[in-house]
């Protein structure tokens, strides 16, 4: 039995170079970065170098990069602090955001009576810029827009440049969950009108448990986690030095090889989608995930032509064949509610069919994809 990992949108395989870098950090550089002796100073220097490396690639300032435990913490921190510290009264978002955003705004609505407005989506799951503009002009409340760059389930790419301009014209703050795009797309924080972004290392072949928030200089946000002066006083807690250098190594290699690796993964996605649609008649792509321009090259969300009863066995069957993929976000895999993203864009009849998210990386091969297609074909004919 082959083992094929096609769940890279959930988490990625850690690069060998990253593992080596982290092993050395754990074995040799064990000083607390906040300590003043040479062991601590050595660790602190490496932490600040990682911050500078990330900032330079994003065309940001080092002080605008705050290390966190990952994207969920960063999203929570930014949204909560925006309401608490910046007087945000209204949050405009969409119903297909990651739950790190959706559940946070729901809590803010309960705790602070924050207005939460949802921008309309088209049939493919992309936000309506016309409706966004309408919401921005609706009243004079202090507003923050939170729209993700790349959707983690259907892969749709939002034009955040256009969203940023609408926010600027209407004096609104702009936050984007960029967890699925940092490390996969080039960035220039000065070219886009954006106040806050988030990233997680394990989405681009780095370690789990580490990420960062981009917080525009002089934003006015205050710490959410207190108890120490770490992260320039913005986030207390001893810095996980080994994770930070692992994040830096993964980040550097992602952008050093971005062009060639993008080309490789894009070809894999196109090949896989073409083969599935050819070999499994009736299969369809959800959202824009079959479009390489309007959807990320890293994933495809495919609806398969099986009835509900047969669909219930599909994921189990693939797992038994050594194939890893998912029904949607790994963060909600234990839920019986199904995909909140697909619930917004598919009809009741379409939701009866099983939809799977296949996500790709540089470690996948065409031979692996052929195997997955063959397994799907056999299952369809069984």
Report how far residue 201's alpha carbon sits from residue 69's, in angstroms, rounded to the nearest whole number. Answer: 10
Place of tokens 């509610």: 337
Report how far residue 38's alpha carbon sits from residue 36's, in angstroms, rounded to the nearest whole number. Answer: 7
Report how far residue 359's alpha carbon sits from residue 353's, in angstroms, rounded to the nearest whole number. Answer: 19
Give kind and range of the element (H or E) at residue 252: helix 241-256
> Percentages helix, strand, coil for the chain, rounded to the nearest 5?
45, 15, 40
Report how far residue 333's alpha carbon sits from residue 367's, in angstroms, rounded to the nearest whole number. Answer: 28
The contacts of residue 323 (CB under 8 Å, 6+ apart) are: 2, 4, 6, 371, 372, 375
Q: What are phi and psi of 156, to 5 degrees?
A: -55, 140
Instruction: Give the bridge partners for 300, in sequence order.
Output: 358
Q: Which residues are catalytic?
A: 331
Counting Cα atoms < 13 Å in the Cβ hemisphere of 10 gives 16
Q: How crowded is residue 279: how many other Cβ atoms within 10 Å of its Cβ?
A: 14
* DSSP codes, 104-161: HHHHHHHHH--EEEE--B-TTS-B-HHHHHHHHTS-SS-EEEE--SB-TTT-BBP-HH
- Contact call for residues 238 and 47 (beta carbons, < 8 A): no
Rg (CA), the chain: 21
Give kind and range of the element (H or E) at residue 67: strand 65-68
């Amino acid at each position: 039995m082959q083992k094929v990992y096609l769940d890279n949108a959930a988490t990625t395989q850690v690069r060998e170079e990253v593992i080596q870098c982290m092993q050395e950090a754990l074995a040799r550089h064990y000083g607390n970065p906040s300590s003043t002796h040479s062991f601590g100073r050595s660790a602190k220097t490496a932490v600040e170098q990682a911050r500078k490396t990330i900032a330079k690639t994003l065309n940001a300032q080092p002080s605008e990069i705050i290390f966190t435990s990952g994207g969920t913490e960063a999203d929570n921190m930014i949204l909560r602090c925006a309401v608490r510290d910046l007087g945000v009264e209204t949050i405009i978002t969409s119903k297909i955001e990651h739950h790190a955003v959706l559940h946070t705004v729901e809590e803010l609505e309960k705790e602070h009576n924050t207005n939460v407005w949802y921008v309309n989506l088209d049939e493919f799951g992309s936000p309506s810029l016309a409706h966004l503009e309408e919401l921005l002009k609706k009243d004079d409340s202090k507003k923050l827009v939170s729209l993700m760059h790349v959707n983690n389930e259907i892969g749709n790419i939002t034009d955040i440049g256009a969203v940023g301009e609408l926010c600027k014209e209407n004096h609104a703050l702009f936050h984007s969950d960029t967890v699925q795009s940092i490390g996969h797309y080039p960035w220039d924080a000065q070219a886009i009108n954006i106040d806050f972004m988030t990233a997680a290392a394990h989405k681009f072949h780095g370690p789990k448990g580490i990420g960062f928030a981009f917080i525009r200089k002089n934003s006015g946000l205050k710490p959410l986690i207190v108890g120490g002066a770490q992260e320039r006083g913005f986030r207390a807690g001893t810095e996980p030095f080994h994770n930070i250098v692992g994040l830096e190594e993964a980040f550097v290699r992602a952008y050093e090889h971005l062009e060639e690796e993008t080309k490789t993964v894009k070809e894999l996605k196109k090949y896989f989608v073409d083969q599935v649609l050819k070999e499994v008649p009736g299969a369809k792509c959800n959202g824009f995930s079959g479009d390489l321009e309007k959807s990320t090259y890293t994933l495809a969300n495919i609806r398969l032509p099986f009835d509900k009863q047969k669909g219930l066995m599909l994921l189990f069957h693939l797992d038994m064949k050594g194939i890893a993929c998912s029904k949607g976000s790994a963060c909600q895999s234990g839920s019986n509610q199904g995909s909140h993203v697909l619930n917004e864009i598919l009809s009741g009849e379409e939701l009866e069919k099983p939809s799977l998210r296949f996500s790709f990386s540089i470690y996948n091969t065409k031979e692996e994809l052929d195997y997955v297609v063959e397994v799907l074909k056999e299952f369809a004919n069984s």
